[in-house]
Amino acid sequence: MLLARVWVGALGAESRWLAAFDFDRNDVLERTEMAQAWLVQAARLSTGRTYAQDGLRARTAAAVPLRGVALSKQDQRVVRAALEATDAGVALLVAAEGVIDRVTCGGDDESMEDDN
């Protein structure tokens, strides 16, 4: 699973679900938007429940919906493990990584396996 900046128009049918996480509607999925997408998918696959794209809330009195999250390397590994624990999660990863490997916006993509 790469956390990369990706042009929404480059997403194939299998990874089109990621477009729903383009919260600022600039047609580019930022790293934080991608992280939230993978986190929500991992939660859905782990629990069998459906979660809204903007279902994550800040721990504030107003409980503002989050529009992207930053994950530590360890948290990224946990999310990837949750995705890889199901056939559906593996299929999502393979489809998205095929697109992301070919088309990224800028050089800030980072594999979860990197230890930097």
Please report which confidence band the pLDDT of residue 110 belongs to, taking 50, 70 and 90 as the band edges.
very low
Predicted confidence (pLDDT) at residue 106 exceeds the cutoff of 70: no
Amino acid (1-letter code) at residue 92: L
pLDDT digits (tens, 9 = 90+) for 12-53: 888 889 999 999 999 999 999 999 999 999 999 999 999 898
Distance CA 108, CA 5 (A): 7
Residue 91 CA to residue 95 CA, distance in Å, equals 6
Strand partners, 65: 57
Q: Is the pLDDT of residue 6 over 90?
A: no
